[in-house]
């Protein structure tokens, strides 16, 4: 069966109006997620106000329009959810007010690597980008802000504790990069069960107590998603901007939009989009194969008016290098995959220079 595209669904949804504001729900930014399956379309709408009767009317209208247009063979599911809990918003605002965004003295650019969903390669990008920038002569720090699932210790091959002296924490160094991760201090299993306040406490300490010294770049590897913990982190640090990592499939675009939306809300510029796993490089012969229809990242960047930083191959060596703790830009510096990371690092420097 021929399924509709993301764009076709969006066009149908743009016929639905918020009866109160008399404006279409796409422009109002209510469309949080569109998932297209084999014979099903699954929509999430997030309203900016928690009015229940209105919520039902908008949801029913959207469902009717999609069902009428798509026919009986496509199952349509529309979930309408309210705004993010006010308590969470307040907590984030308060913590931002109390401390105000700050950045470690001596650090020129703080750059977060983020994604709307998990497993797209944030940590792989963060570690390789950090090492590539260091290889180009910059002084670089990498902070693993994924307090729930830290990957930096494994991917950078570090199994030592940071130094503690006089209430300060001294980062560990590997592959020419200064590193800090909660994974240096607690076990993976312990980090998994951390709750919000503890997690932000740890992040606070990373920001206030870690001696980074003079850095050109401090790269942050964020936890996946666009929830409270991500908001807290980006509001606490004065970020130069964020890099959003995505995969090429069209369905990933909604996640990019969500991440972009979060950063826009807190006035953090998106410095660019990276498309990971764009194409496959055969480990034997180096032959390049397009597995997914690639190019979604570039399209998303164009639609959102942000730079496209480049695409990365899906390559056995990228994962293998991460697993043994030597990022691929260091482990196989002559490879196509290493070159792709190096190009992205160069593109990032260019974007930063343009903004200066
Ligand atoms: N381009 C690539 N080629 C091959 N393997 C890759 C590539 N990018 C990432 N991987 C592998 O995919 C897995 C997930 O990547 P990674 O941990 O970087 O994602 P993440 O977005 O940080 O995940 P999480 O959301 O859990 O933090 C890892 O095993 C990694 O080695
Ligand atoms: Mg990660």
Domain locations in the chain?
6-81, 99-355
Tell me which residue has its CA closest to atom 28 in ligand 1: 319
Give the position, in ligand 1's atom list, of the atom nearest the Cα of 124. Answer: 18
Give the residues surrounding ligand 1 with Cβ less than 6 Å away: 115, 118-124, 146, 149, 151, 224, 276-277, 312-315, 318-319, 322
Tell me which residue has its CA closest to atom 15 in ligand 1: 121
Render pLDDT for 321-354 as a digit per residue (tens, 0 to 9): 999 999 999 999 999 999 999 999 999 999 999 9
At residue 20, does pLDDT exceed 90? no
99-355 CATH pick, 3.40.50.300, 3.30.70.20, 3.30.300.30, 3.20.20.300:
3.40.50.300
Span between the terminal Cα atoms of the chain, in Å: 50
Cα 298 to averaged position of ligand 1 atoms, centre (Å): 20
Residue predicted with more confidence, 93 or 334: 334
Instruction: Evaluate whether 294 touches 279 at the Cβ level (below 8 Å).
Output: yes
The whole-number pLDDT of residue 91 equals 44
The whole-number pLDDT of residue 127 equals 98
* Region 230-235 average pLDDT: 83
Render pLDDT for 295-317 as a digit per residue (tens, 0 to 9): 788 888 998 899 999 999 999 89
**Least confident interval from 79-83, 164-168, 289-293, 300-304:** 289-293
Residue predicted with more confidence, 289 or 122: 122
Residue predicted with more confidence, 171 or 182: 171
The percent of residues in the chain predicted with pLDDT above 90, rounded, is: 49
* Region 209-215 average pLDDT: 90
At residue 99, does pLDDT exceed 50? no
What is the best residue among 114, 115, 121 to mutate for testing ligand 1's pocket, by most ligand atoms within 8 Å of CB? 121
Tell me which residue has its CA closest to atom 18 in ligand 1: 121
- DSSP at 144: E
The whole-number pLDDT of residue 232 equals 81
What is the best residue among 247, 248, 319, 320 to mutate for testing ligand 1's pocket, by most ligand atoms within 8 Å of CB? 319
At residue 18, does pLDDT exceed 80? yes
**Least confident interval from 9-13, 120-124, 231-235, 308-312:** 231-235
**Least confident interval from 37-51, 65-79, 261-275, 280-294:** 280-294
Tell me which residue has its CA closest to atom 5 in ligand 1: 319
Instruction: Evaluate whether 270 touches 141 at the Cβ level (below 8 Å).
Output: no
Tell me which residue has its CA closest to atom 11 in ligand 1: 319
Contacts of 341 (CB under 8 A, 6+ apart): 125, 128, 129, 132, 312, 328, 329
Q: In whole angstroms, what is the distance from residue 258 CA to residue 261 CA?
A: 5
Cα 247 to averaged position of ligand 2 atoms, centre (Å): 14
6-81 CATH pick, 3.30.420.40, 3.90.1570.10, 3.30.300.130, 3.40.720.10:
3.30.300.130
Tell me which residue has its CA closest to atom 31 in ligand 1: 319
Q: Are strands 31-36 and 40-46 parallel, antiparallel or unpaired?
A: antiparallel
Cα 224 to averaged position of ligand 1 atoms, centre (Å): 11
List, as ranges, residues with CB under 5 A of the ion ligand 2.
122-123, 151
What is the best residue among 128, 322, 327 to mutate for testing ligand 1's pocket, by most ligand atoms within 8 Å of CB? 322
Ligand nearest to the CA of 252: 1
Instruction: Please tell me which of 142-146, 166-170, 227-231 the model is most confident about, judged by mean pLDDT.
Output: 142-146
Average pLDDT in the chain: 85
At residue 187, does pLDDT exceed 70? no
The whole-number pLDDT of residue 98 equals 43
The whole-number pLDDT of residue 192 equals 53
Cα 258 to averaged position of ligand 1 atoms, centre (Å): 20
* Region 180-194 average pLDDT: 68
Q: In whole angstroms, what is the distance from residue 28 CA to residue 316 CA?
A: 42
Cα 356 to averaged position of ligand 1 atoms, centre (Å): 31
Instruction: Evaluate whether 130 touches 330 at the Cβ level (below 8 Å).
Output: no
At residue 174, does pLDDT exceed 90? yes
Cα 150 to averaged position of ligand 1 atoms, centre (Å): 12
* Region 157-169 average pLDDT: 84
Instruction: Evaluate whether 144 touches 179 at the Cβ level (below 8 Å).
Output: yes
The whole-number pLDDT of residue 323 equals 94
**Least confident interval from 221-225, 249-253, 284-288, 345-349:** 249-253
Cα 243 to averaged position of ligand 2 atoms, centre (Å): 14
Cα 118 to averaged position of ligand 1 atoms, centre (Å): 9
């Amino acid at each position: 069966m021929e399924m509709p595209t993301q764009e076709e669904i969006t066009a149908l949804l743009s016929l639905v109006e918020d009866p109160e504001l008399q404006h279409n729900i796409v422009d109002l930014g209510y469309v949080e997620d569109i998932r297209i399956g084999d014979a099903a379309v699954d929509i999430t709408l997030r309203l900016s106000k928690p009015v229940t009767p209105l919520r039902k009317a908008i949801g029913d209208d959207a469902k009717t329009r999609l069902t009428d247009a798509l026919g009986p063979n496509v199952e349509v599911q529309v979930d309408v959810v309210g705004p993010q809990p006010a308590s969470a918003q307040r907590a984030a605002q308060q913590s931002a007010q109390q401390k105000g965004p700050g950045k470690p003295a001596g650090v020129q650019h703080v750059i977060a690597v983020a994604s709307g969903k998990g497993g797209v390669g944030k940590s792989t990008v963060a570690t390789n980008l950090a090492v590539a920038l260091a290889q180009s002569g910059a002084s670089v720090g990498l902070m693993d802000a994924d307090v729930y699932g830290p990957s930096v210790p494994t991917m950078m091959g570090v199994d030592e504790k940071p130094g503690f002296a006089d209430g300060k924490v001294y980062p560990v160094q590997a592959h020419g990069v200064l590193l800090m991760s909660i994974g240096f201090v607690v076990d993976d299993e312990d980090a998994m069960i951390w709750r919000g306040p503890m997690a932000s406490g740890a992040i606070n300490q990373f920001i206030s107590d870690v001696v980074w010294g003079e850095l050109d770049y401090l790269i942050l590897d964020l936890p996946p998603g666009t929830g409270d913990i991500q908001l807290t982190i980006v509001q606490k640090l004065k970020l130069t901007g964020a890099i959003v990592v995505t995969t090429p499939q069209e369905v990933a675009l909604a996640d990019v939009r969500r991440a972009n939306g979060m950063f826009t809300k807190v006035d953090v510029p998106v410095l660019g989009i990276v498309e990971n796993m764009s194409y496959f490089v055969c480990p034997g012969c180096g032959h390049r194969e397009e597995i997914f229809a690639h190019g979604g990242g570039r399209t998303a960047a164009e639609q959102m008016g942000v730079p496209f930083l480049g695409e990365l191959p899906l390559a056995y060596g990228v994962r293998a290098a991460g697993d043994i703790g030597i990022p691929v830009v260091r482990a196989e510096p002559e490879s196509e995959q290493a070159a792709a990371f190096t190009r992205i690092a160069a593109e990032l420097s260019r974007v930063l220079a343009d903004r200066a």
